[in-house]
């Protein structure tokens, strides 16, 4: 996607300087991996629920046993620090619908909140380039980030004469 002379990879949240750079980026191993992981996580999110309002004493086994009554549970991911929430991944989206159809859930005598798991992008926000004027011998962080994200930086070699 192009905007104001920049090309943005929505998958990697990366801004590139030319169409050719974008083409090279899309062929790169890092982009391919991020795209693969993104698709996998989107599928997982559709087959998962978020369970909140847990107590620290609640175990992964207790949560699994409760939701096995609804359908086949593939795995439970418990908040490692505070044990306040869990992600329950089912074998299918249909089981998620069944779990969400039940309005009130009680595990171990405690009412818990259950909702569809939200999908979150793989990549975080890209650092904004420094607005300070670049002096010779220093690396512009924005350019550096773009170069690091690519498997092949040969696209930028033709542009090196522009900065001199």
| pLDDT tens column, 2-61 | 445 588 988 888 889 999 999 999 999 988 988 898 888 889 999 999 999 999 889 999
Radius of gyration in angstroms for the set of CA atoms belonging to the chain, rounded to a whole number: 23
CB 70 within 8 A of CB 98: yes
CA dihedral 160, 25, 10, 4 (to 10 degrees): 30
pLDDT per position as a tens digit, 132-145: 555 555 555 666 66
CB 51 within 8 A of CB 85: yes
Phi and psi at residue 74, to the nearest 5°? -80, -45
Counting residues of the chain whose pLDDT is more than 90, the rounded percentage is 47
* Average model confidence (pLDDT) across the chain: 80
pLDDT bin (cut points 50, 70, 90) of residue 151 is low
Give the pair of three-digit tokens for residue 81. Answer: 């620090």
For residue 120, pLDDT beyond 80: no
Exposure string of 106-122, with b = 16+ CB inside 10 Å and e = fewer, is ebeeeebebeebeeeeb
* Helices of type H across 102-140: none
pLDDT bin (cut points 50, 70, 90) of residue 158 is very low
Tokens 């869990």 belong to 86
**Apex CA 8: angle with CA 129 and CA 125, to 5°?**
55
Would you state the pLDDT for residue 140?
Answer: 58
Q: 3 versus 83: which is more confidently predicted?
A: 83
Q: 46 versus 155: which is more confidently predicted?
A: 46
């Amino acid at each position: 996607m192009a905007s104001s002379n920049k090309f943005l990879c929505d998958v990697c949240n990366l801004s590139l300087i030319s169409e050719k750079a974008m083409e090279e980026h899309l062929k790169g191993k890092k982009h391919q991996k991020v795209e693969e992981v993104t698709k996998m996580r989107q599928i997982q999110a559709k087959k998962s629920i978020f369970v909140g309002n847990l107590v620290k004493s609640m175990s992964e086994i207790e949560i699994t046993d409760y939701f096995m009554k609804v359908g086949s549970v593939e795995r439970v991911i418990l908040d490692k620090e505070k044990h306040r929430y869990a992600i329950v991944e089912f074998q299918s989206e249909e089981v998620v619908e069944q779990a969400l159809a039940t309005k009130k859930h009680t595990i171990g005598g405690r009412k818990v909140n259950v909702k569809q798991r939200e999908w979150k992008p793989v990549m975080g926000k890209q650092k904004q380039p420094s607005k300070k004027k670049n002096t010779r011998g220093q690396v512009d962080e924005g350019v550096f980030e773009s170069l690091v994200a690519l498997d092949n930086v040969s696209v930028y070699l033709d542009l090196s004469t522009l900065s001199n």
